[in-house]
Structure 1
Amino acid sequence: MKSELYDHEPLEQDILQRYGDSSEDIMEESKKKMEQWTRKDEIESQAQVDRVNIQLKGAIEAGLAPSSPEVQQIIHRHFKSIGRLYKPTAEVYRSLGELYVSHLDFKNIFDSYHPNLAEYLRDGMKIFAKEQL
């Protein structure tokens, strides 16, 4: 099933340019899993991402550090949501966090929740990758 929520092609090309052919296997794994998804699965996945972003926005507003146990629990839920598509290594998960900050499409999505969310999530992902992966 082709995703109706996103046009993945431009992002895939950008990822290949940034990270090389090693990222191609991850994208293929992700595509194969998503082909099995129903429309309901896509909507539930997006809702899960939305909940994580809203919770992280709340954590920023509460003044919690990305390293706090509460934030790391939210980051763990983010990691699990990514795991529905592929199993990221620590390096891949850290790189994904960097992509969230450096890629304008991702940055704009996160900025719609909170202007510091992309950087906050990236920082939390780095900590999670170092301590948990």
Structure 2
Amino acid sequence: MAMKVKEVAELVGISVRTLHHYDEIGLLTPDEVTSAGYRLYSDANLEMLQQILFFKELDFSLKDIKEIINNPSFDREEALNMHRHILLEKRQRLDLMIATIDKSVQHVRGEIKMTAKEQFEGFNFSQHPYEQEARERWGDQAVDQANQKLHKQSSEEQKAMSDQMNSIYTRLAAIRHTDPNSAEAQSGISEWYSYLNNMGNYPPEVFRGLGQMYVDDERFTRNIDQFGEGLAVFMRDAMAVFADRNS
């Protein structure tokens, strides 16, 4: 049964303007428009809208979503299974972070003593949710190589890599107020460079661009600065110095 745009908006919980925008950019065009200009959405349209919103939940841009769902090889069932897998992983990580918050409250109250490692349980940047931006900026090769290595690893190996990453962030946070040109800062950022290149191919200029994205994209900044306010800016500056010295 066809539904009018207002009915769809109320059903889904999004604005009529959003649906109009999706139509205007060719992301979701209703199967029928009446002579009076009313948009009518079919069951197939609603299924596609559901798919669009799943991709949005995973931080895909509208441009990327449009390219994906219009690809002749797009398989809705396969996409749904992918969404489920990613969301389950996200839920697991959020549960761990909530547990870390609960323990942190006890730590603040003096009821328990947390180790430095325990304070960052749940932070995992090895499988960041913003992979699409990386693909857009630098192409698929570096990202695919990193993902290929991660997928071949056991859960224990992935946890070890996550722990190593958190350890590097923690050490960098401790020196974030030093000069990015200093030997100490460059030693720390060199460790980060080596870590990334163990997963993929990140030449100095790509490394520089990644550092800039830490500051340009507030989501990266917010995540990184959880280790210490100003860490993202420090890493960007130190990564730029490293790139200059190693290009």
Q: For residue 77 of structure 1, report the CA deviation from its aligned partner.
A: 0.7
**2:183 paired residue among 57, 61, 69:** 69
Per the alignment, do residues 10 and 44 of structure 1 end up closer, same or farther by CA in structure 2, a change over 3 Å counting? closer
Instruction: Considering Cα pairs closer than 8 Å and 6+ residues apart, tell me whether 1 or 2 has the greater RCO.
Output: 1
Name the residue aligned to 2:140. Answer: 24
Q: For residue 104 of structure 1, report the CA deviation from its aligned partner.
A: 2.6
Alpha-carbon distance between aligned partners in 1 of 2:199 and 2:191, rounded to the nearest angstrom = 14
Alpha-carbon distance between aligned partners in 2 of 1:84 and 1:119, rounded to the nearest angstrom = 24
SS at match of 1:84: helix
Aligned residues: CA RMSD: 2.3
What pairs up with 1:1-133 in 2 under 5 angstroms? 4=89, 10-17=129-136, 19=137, 22-60=138-176, 63-133=177-247
Alpha-carbon distance between aligned partners in 2 of 1:127 and 1:54, rounded to the nearest angstrom = 20
1:17-45 per-residue CA deviation (whole Å, 9 max, x = no partner) reads 4x1xx421111111111111111221111
Q: Which has the larger Rg?
A: 2
Runs of 4+ in 1 over 6 A off after TM superposition: none
Structure 1: 5+ residue runs without aligned partners? none
Structure 2: 5+ residue runs without aligned partners? 1-84, 94-123
Give the structure with the larger helix fraction.
Answer: 1
1:39-95 per-residue CA deviation (whole Å, 9 max, x = no partner) reads 1221111212211211122112xx421111011111111011101211211111001
Alpha-carbon distance between aligned partners in 2 of 1:109 and 1:9, rounded to the nearest angstrom = 10
Percent of residue pairs bearing the same amino acid type: 22
Q: For residue 16 of structure 1, report the CA deviation from its aligned partner.
A: 3.2
Alpha-carbon distance between aligned partners in 1 of 2:166 and 2:181, rounded to the nearest angstrom = 21
- The size of the alignment, in residue pairs, is 127
Q: For residue 10 of structure 1, report the CA deviation from its aligned partner.
A: 4.8
Alpha-carbon distance between aligned partners in 2 of 1:24 and 1:53, rounded to the nearest angstrom = 25
Letter of the structure 2 residue corresponding to residue 11 of structure 1: Y
Per the alignment, do residues 109 and 37 of structure 1 end up closer, same or farther by CA in structure 2, a change over 3 Å counting? same
Contact 2:145-2:201 within 8 A present in 1 as well: no
